[in-house]
């Protein structure tokens, strides 16, 4: 934008001129001029004219008068268009909901670092978990970066903000161990024994498959008949099931967390058990497909009587029921079977890359925690065995 004083009929005036937005079809720009008695008035008129053209050519262009609520909605639409999984979108929606409780009606230009930091501290005081606040902080950072790219704000108010941390007591440190996230071998035996004794329909098939495959619960519920290869005793994991409202008909299937298909070698006994289940499903389908009006003929491995798949929530409900009949005190979930499987493979001497490939982990962090813990225990045991052997060999040595 440039301004100059020019001669007019009434004497002198200020004229400001600048480039209009580029025509999206031709790529060309036009020079826009606006006059007024003062330089400030001329600038204001020119800016309004350019903004008006921007809105006409690019109706979705962000305005510097945009509120945080409007901005977050625009950002979420773009985020969803990048191909992220529905589960990730759902998480961001929840995080934005938390952010909107504090900033929804504020202009994005009004949000300061102090306001943002105060919000994080307030979330901590309200009892939100550290991981939840961390997720909110990450989401806010993406939204504010989007605002900076669109020249809505000069600085990111989230920059240098910290997430409050509570002091950890010795008791908490001693109680919070990696062992609390998975079944030890004897605990897994206890749980599976209870499954056989008091398990309900499909409990045996689902929990044994989880324990011996390392699948994610959503991957298990998404399995179909075509995913099982009985000739090679393998299971193909290519998708995961989402059911946000736990309505059996409102499920969606998406790719795996890593967007990769993996083939899992399975024990022959597990495959024999699943073969019987498929035979049972096929017989049921032949008998009831024409009788049940809305029979869902998609050949899900773990299906209801009408063919629809069970939601992951059902798996958690069934697990909690069985846990009540055991003396296991750990707060475990269906996801805990993955850590248990990693533990068992580590004890069997399987290397870390192979374990990661089997369970579908690209980030080694989670796998490494269990792997390192188990290998450390194995080292201690090996040293104890070596010490015992040395004592036997040195028993007759006199000094």
Q: Which two tokens stand for residue 390?
A: 């040395």
**399 domain-assigned:** no
Q: 288 to each of 279, 303, 304, 308, 336, how far by Cα in Å?
A: 14, 13, 12, 13, 36
* pLDDT at residue number 355: 86
Q: Which two tokens stand for residue 351?
A: 């290397």
**Nearest CA to 212 among 181, 226, 230, 233?**
233
**pLDDT surpasses 60 at 59:** no
76-90, 186-200, 203-217: which has the minimum mean pLDDT?
76-90
Does residue 233 share a domain with residue 145?
no
Given a contact cutoff of 8 angstroms between Cβ atoms, the answer to whether 195 and 204 are in contact is yes
The range of the structural domain enclosing residue 145 comes to 68-149
Give me the mean pLDDT over the 263-288 stretch. Answer: 94
Does residue 353 share a domain with residue 224?
yes
Does residue 220 share a domain with residue 267?
yes
3-state secondary structure of 221: helix
Does residue 230 share a domain with residue 189?
yes
**83 domain-assigned:** yes
Does residue 349 share a domain with residue 309?
yes
Q: 189 to each of 203, 337, 377, how far by Cα in Å?
A: 15, 12, 20
Does residue 350 share a domain with residue 273?
yes
**Nearest CA to 367 among 382, 378, 357?**
357
* pLDDT at residue number 324: 94
Does residue 183 share a domain with residue 134?
no
DSSP code for 250: S
Domain boundary among 32, 57, 82: 57
* pLDDT at residue number 92: 95
* pLDDT at residue number 384: 57
Give me the mean pLDDT over the 344-365 stretch. Answer: 81
DSSP code for 350: -
Given a contact cutoff of 8 angstroms between Cβ atoms, the answer to whether 296 and 225 are in contact is no
CATH number of the domain within which 217 lies: 1.10.443.10
* pLDDT at residue number 326: 94
**158 domain-assigned:** no
**323 domain-assigned:** yes
Given a contact cutoff of 8 angstroms between Cβ atoms, the answer to whether 119 and 102 are in contact is yes
**Verdict on whether the full-model pTM lies above 0.75:** no
Does residue 223 share a domain with residue 95?
no
CATH number of the domain within which 134 lies: 1.10.150.130
3-state secondary structure of 143: helix
pLDDT level of residue 67 (50, 70, 90 thresholds): very high
**Nearest CA to 341 among 212, 220, 219?**
212
- Cα 376 to Cα 380: distance, rounded to the nearest angstrom: 6
**106 domain-assigned:** yes
3-state secondary structure of 265: strand
**384 domain-assigned:** no
**pLDDT surpasses 80 at 335:** yes
Residue with tokens 């809105």: 55
- Cα 247 to Cα 183: distance, rounded to the nearest angstrom: 30
Which is more confident, 237 or 32? 237
Give me the mean pLDDT over the 99-112 stretch. Answer: 94
- Cα 115 to Cα 165: distance, rounded to the nearest angstrom: 19
* pLDDT at residue number 93: 96
**pLDDT surpasses 80 at 282:** yes
* pLDDT at residue number 379: 61
3-state secondary structure of 254: strand
Give me the mean pLDDT over the 182-209 stretch. Answer: 94
* pLDDT at residue number 320: 96
pLDDT level of residue 395 (50, 70, 90 thresholds): low
Mean pLDDT computed over every residue of the chain: 86
pLDDT level of residue 318 (50, 70, 90 thresholds): very high
pLDDT tens digits, residue range 363-391?
667 677 776 776 766 665 555 555 665 56
- Cα 358 to Cα 369: distance, rounded to the nearest angstrom: 16
3-state secondary structure of 220: helix
Which is more confident, 345 or 274? 274
- Cα 221 to Cα 300: distance, rounded to the nearest angstrom: 8
**44 domain-assigned:** yes
Does residue 274 share a domain with residue 355?
yes
Does residue 75 share a domain with residue 94?
yes
* pLDDT at residue number 363: 64
Helix ranges (H only) for the chain are 39-57, 68-80, 86-103, 113-125, 130-149, 170-175, 185-198, 203-213, 217-221, 268-288, 312-323, 336-347, 352-359, 364-393
Domain count, the chain: 3
Does residue 319 share a domain with residue 347?
yes
**392 domain-assigned:** no
Does residue 317 share a domain with residue 361?
yes
Sheet holding 228-229, edge to edge: 228-229, 234-237, 262-265
**pLDDT surpasses 90 at 212:** yes
pLDDT tens digits, residue range 150-191?
888 989 999 999 999 876 666 655 555 666 678 888 899 999
**Nearest CA to 203 among 192, 188, 190?**
192
pLDDT tens digits, residue range 225-253?
999 999 999 999 999 998 878 888 889 99
């Amino acid at each position: 934008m440039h301004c100059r004083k020019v001669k007019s009929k009434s004497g002198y005036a200020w004229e400001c001129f600048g480039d209009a937005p580029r025509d999206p079809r031709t790529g060309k720009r036009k020079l826009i001029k606006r006059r007024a008695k003062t330089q400030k008035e001329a600038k204001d008129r020119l800016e309004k004219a350019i903004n008006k053209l921007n809105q006409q050519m690019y109706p979705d262009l962000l305005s510097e008068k945009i509120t945080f609520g409007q901005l977050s909605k625009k950002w979420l639409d773009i985020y969803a268009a990048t191909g992220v999984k529905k589960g990730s979108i759902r998480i961001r929606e929840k995080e934005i909901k938390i952010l909107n409780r504090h900033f929804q009606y504020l202009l994005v230009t009004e949000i300061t670092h102090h306001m943002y930091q105060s919000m994080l501290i307030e979330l901590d005081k309200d009892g939100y978990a550290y991981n939840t606040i961390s997720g909110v902080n990450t989401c806010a950072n993406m939204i504010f970066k989007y605002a900076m790219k669109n020249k809505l704000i000069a600085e990111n108010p989230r920059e240098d903000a910290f997430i409050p941390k509570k002091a950890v007591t010795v008791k908490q440190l001693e109680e919070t161990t990696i062992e609390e996230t998975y079944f030890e071998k004897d605990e897994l035996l206890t749980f599976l024994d209870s499954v056989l004794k008091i398990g309900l329909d499909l409990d045996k098939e689902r929990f044994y498959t989880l324990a011996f495959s390392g699948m994610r619960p959503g991957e298990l519920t998404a399995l179909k008949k075509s995913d099982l290869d009985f000739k090679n005793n393998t299971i193909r994991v290519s998708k995961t099931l989402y059911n946000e409202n736990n309505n059996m008909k409102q499920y969606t299937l998406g790719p795996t967390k890593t967007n990769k298909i993996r083939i899992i070698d399975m024990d022959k006994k597990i495959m024999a058990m699943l073969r019987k289940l498929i035979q049972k499903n096929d017989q049921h389908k032949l008998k009831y497909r024409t009788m049940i009006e809305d029979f869902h003929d998609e050949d899900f491995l773990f299906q209801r009587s009408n063919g629809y798949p069970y939601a992951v929530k059902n798996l958690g409900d069934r697990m909690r029921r069985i846990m009540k009949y055991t003396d296991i005190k750990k707060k475990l979930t269906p996801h805990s079977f993955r850590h248990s499987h990693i533990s068992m493979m580590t004890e069997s001497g399987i290397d870390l890359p192979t374990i990661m490939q089997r369970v579908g982990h690209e980030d080694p962090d989670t796998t490494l925690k269990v792997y390192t813990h188990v290998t450390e225990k194995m080292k201690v045991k090996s040293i104890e065995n070596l010490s015992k052997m040395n004592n036997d060999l040195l028993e007759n040595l006199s000094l």
